[in-house]
Structure 1
Amino acid sequence: MEDTNDESSLIVIILDSNPMQRIVRRNPQQLTQCLDSICVFANAHLMQRAQNSIAALASDATKVEFLYPSQNSQMREIRQIDGQYEKFTQVEKTIKLNMASMVKSIDQNLIEQKAEPMLAGSIAMALCYIARLQREKPPGCKLNARILLLTGSLECASQYMTYMNVFFTAQKQNVVLDVCALDESMTLLQQGCDITGGQYLKLPQTEGLLQYLLWIFLPDPATRSKLVFPPATKVDYRAACFCHRELIDIGYVCSVCLSIFCKFSPICTTCHTVFKTQAPTTSKVKKKKTKA
């Protein structure tokens, strides 16, 4: 039998903690319920194998912070709860204490000015963390890493290029991106899941979040092909124009920098390339031959 003790599985969980999300404004306790489900999901992943590891990030409209592992020395002195595995206690309490500290430090006025979530930046930070762990691995050891993003924010087409950069970076690093949309369906994140080979789920109801996390996102990508999942939705591969940041069906592409525009412009606003337009050709009138 093949020895697989040199393989480890890492899940980096990203939670969108932006208070401007509709589900959070409608029910402020929704963020706490999501956090409880994430802690159970993280411990379930650690329970599968001793080599498994976990990391958690939270992002709003202004910053991205690590919830676990924590850089705070006080978090390392968490006392174990009687009857609970020490690792589970550390993960659960560290995530919740760091999230509470992050929520208390939120500047509401600054959040309202920058309502767009930093989801692409969160994915980029997770990829950097995964790349560092892969470099620190001893020779012969393999790290199977994936990212799970939970968000209730709306579509943000203004970050189209940033999204595409992190999607193809994850594909190059063989990092699978999974997305759980808590509110509205998100086209760009759906494209990222399809590019990286991950699973995209528009949550039917938030009350069953934990059940969907354990059913859809807990199995590793190699095991998912043997399970029965909800039918996959058709991926909308429309691109966002660089002029109005809106998804378009047909547009104009710059031949130099590949920027996309919904209307023709003689000068590319991204790389300032000037395009030469050909004048319309005029048809010559043939002269009729006169008979002698």
Structure 2
Amino acid sequence: MAFDLKQANEETQFENTEDTSLLVIVLDTNPGQKILRDNPHILTQCVDSVIAFANTHLMQKSQNKLAVMACHSKISEFIYPGTSKQLDVRQIDGQYEVFTLVEKTVKQNLAKILTTETPSTIITESLLAGAIAMALCYIARIHRTKPPGCKINSRILVVTGSGDSASQYMNYMNVFFTAQKQNVVIDVCALDQHLSLLQQGCDITGGLYLKVPQIQGLLQYLLWVFLPEPPIRQKLVLPPPVKVDYRAACFCHRELIDIGFVCSVCLSIFCKFSPICTTCHTVFKIPGPLASKTKKKKVKL
């Protein structure tokens, strides 16, 4: 009997030492996205695919944790776990209660966000940088409250169909390097077009970037590419990494540039020379014309 108790304690201790995987999904639900303006029904397919992907993540290990965020044009909110009253979830057709809770909570909270957004306030730009910052704050809070000896592998998955937003360049860079410092991996699933700024975030944090070739196979791509955790990805055959566009956005026009002027004090970037930095108000000297070098005449001997 003593042997059985000892063996049970060893098994329990082994289970507690297993790594916990925390996944935060940032779903871009802004109706101003071009892909949703052309076909609004795609949003329903994306939500269903993300819910199935989230449930698969929870099914991999009982210790896994999940959070889902909805990124909109004006706000970014957590739609799972919800802040409202706990739903009365009952088993439906043999479905696990946790899976039912995820599905009902996500759809109910997302419906509230979409119904409260009026068409007059909809803009084409989504607050993705702010949503990633909120996800990093949530991950930091989970790490502070974790029990001693528990190791949590955290990552963020961004699912969006929006285009690049150079106006959020500084916000993107801040969250990318913050995630790198916190050892948080950022993955990006682009639905409509390539996103150079988010490509930089994936490369900085060691995450994966994928532009979905066909929106009909979104769930298959999510399960194939983004379901495995970063330590396991090295052993799998995944899509080859694409060349990352590391161009910076100028602070004056918010456009990506190849060559520009950099402030020597605050490192702000401008596409044209300015005598005063608009960020730190440092005054620079106006560059004068380059002096032409006189060619020395060769003396013939």
TM-score, normalised relative to structure 1:
0.93
Please list the CA deviations of residues 166-211 of structure 1 after superposition, one character each: whole Å capped at 9, or x if unmatched.
Answer: 0000000000000000001000000000000000001101000000
Do structure 1's residue 210 and structure 2's residue 219 form an aligned pair?
A: yes
Q: Distance in 1 between matches of 2:293 and 2:50?
A: 73
State whether residues 80 and 90 of structure 1, in contact with CA within 8 Å, keep that contact through their aligned partners in structure 2.
no
- 2:42, 2:21 → 1: CA distance? 29
Aligned match of 1:102 in 113, 116, 119? 113
Task: Identify unmatched segments of 5+ residues in structure 2.
Answer: 1-10, 295-301
Q: Deviations over 1:92-128 (max 9, x none)?
A: 111111111111111210113xx31100000000000
1:76 paired with 2:87, answer yes
* One-letter amino acid matched to 1:238: R
Report deviation, 1:277. 3.9
Secondary structure (helix, strand or coil) at the match of 2:50 reads helix
Tell me if 1:260 matches 2:269.
yes
Counterpart of 2:247 in structure 1 is 238
Work out the CA distance in 2 between the residues paired with 1:71 and 1:242. Answer: 38
Q: Is 1:43 matched with 2:55?
A: yes
Indicate if the aligned counterparts of 1:43 and 1:91 stay in contact, CA closer than 8 A. Answer: yes
Give secondary structure in 1 for the equivalent of 2:16: coil
Mapping for residues 49-68 of structure 1, pairs under 5 Å: 49-68=61-80
Counterpart CA distance in 2 for 1:281 and 1:32 is 61
Structure 1 position 279, deviation (Å): 4.7
SS in 2 for 1:81: coil
Please tell me the root mean square deviation across aligned C-alpha atoms, in Å.
1.8
SS in 1 for 2:22: strand
Residue from 156, 165, 171 that aligns with 1:156: 165
- CA distance in 2 between counterparts of 1:277 and 1:21 reads 43
Q: Which amino acid aligns with 2:260?
A: G
Query: Is contact 1:241–1:262 with CA below 8 Å preserved after alignment?
Result: yes
1:111 paired to 2:119: no
Indicate which of 8, 23, 27 corresponds to 1:11.
23
- Give the AA of the match of 1:269: T
CA contact 2:30–2:71 (8 Å) conserved in 1: yes
Aligned residue for 1:223?
232
1:139 positional shift: 1.8
Partner of 1:89: 100
Deviation of the 1:80 alpha carbon: 2.8
- Secondary structure of 1:77's aligned partner: coil
Structure 1 distance, partners of 2:278, 2:269, is: 10
Cα distance in 1 for residues equivalent to 2:95 and 2:159: 27
Match of 2:203 in 1: 194
1:61 shift after superposition: 0.7
Q: 1:242, 1:260 within 8 Å by CA — same for their partners in 2? A: yes
Q: Count residues with an aligned counterpart.
A: 282
Q: TM-score, normalised by structure 2?
A: 0.90
Distance 1:95 1:46 in 2: 15
5+ unaligned residues in a row in structure 1: which ranges?
Answer: 286-292
1:290 corresponding residue in structure 2: none
Identify if the C-alpha distance between structure 1 residues 278 and 150 changes in structure 2 by more than 3 Å, giving closer, same or farther. closer
Letter in 1 for 2:179: A
